[in-house]
Amino acid sequence: MRGGAAERRVTDLLRSAVFSESAVVARVELLIESMMQPEPPAAATSAAQGEGCVTGSDGLGNGTAPAERDDRRHKDAESKLVHLAAEVLGGVVGRSNAKRGTLKLVRAFRCELLNRQLVYVLLDELIAFVFPEAQHGS
């Protein structure tokens, strides 16, 4: 009986706090605001030239202190994630394969244009799932 009561309380909490209409509206507004921010002129020029993905350590800025600090944080996080993945997945796929796969994944997610496209596709799928009548060709 206690398990059912706990499950019911968690479900009620999720419905009231996470999936309430006001919470969903706030998250959608935040998503729209973050996606519709105007790009700075330098970013727009580099994106137009096909240079939107960060491929090396020099892609985060022009040598200013905040860019160097961000670059250092990214490298620290990347290093920690690679070591963690090597420990967790090392027994399954081997340590070197786990490290290489993690590095590929981290570098793929450092590409702002790909991240934006991924969010658009996921949002499109979410809308199609929630509102099936809105699909084209129905």
pLDDT tens per residue, range 79-138: 888 888 888 888 888 888 988 988 888 888 888 888 888 888 888 888 888 887 777 654
The secondary structure of the chain in percent helix, strand, coil, rounded to multiples of 5, reads 80, 0, 20
Amino acid at 10: V
What pTM was computed for the model?
A: 0.42
Q: What is the pLDDT of residues 16-74, one digit of tens each?
A: 777 777 877 787 777 777 767 665 555 544 444 444 555 444 444 445 578 888 888 88
Neighbours of 98 (CB within 10 A): 21
